[in-house]
Amino acid sequence: MAGSLAGRTIVLAGGSGGLGSATAQLLGAEGARLVVSYRANRERAEALSSIAALVQADLSKAEDRTRLLDAAPEIYGLVVFAGDPARVADPSKLEAALADSYRVNAAGPLLMARE
């Protein structure tokens, strides 16, 4: 069928969270081949193991981005749900939290899209 996602490979980076999990379910129902990454919560990601290949990856690390993209050699689409808010209780830690947030929320996804 024209326009179908059946058999097409879609990477959901950070796809094991709330929005990512719901999207994975919808794409899986369309027949897409899914590769879902998670950074730290393998248990939550395991809930998607019946419909997706799981890859542990921190998008801020080049070797992790490579491993994730290698899991999808015929990639059709990339959706990024990965995120790290810069929330801190101690104001003196805000600058470091913002730098980490930038690496995860902006630099990592942009570099992966480019790669």
Per-residue pLDDT reduced to its tens digit, 42-53: 999 999 999 999
pTM: 0.87
For 71-83, the pLDDT digits (tens) are 999 999 999 998 8
pLDDT at 6 over 70: yes
Instruction: Give the Cα separation of 26 and 42 in Å (integer).
Output: 21
Give the closest residue to 49 by CA, choosing from 39, 34, 64.
34
- Distance, in Å, from the CA atom of 111 to the CA atom of 60, rounded to the nearest integer, reads 9
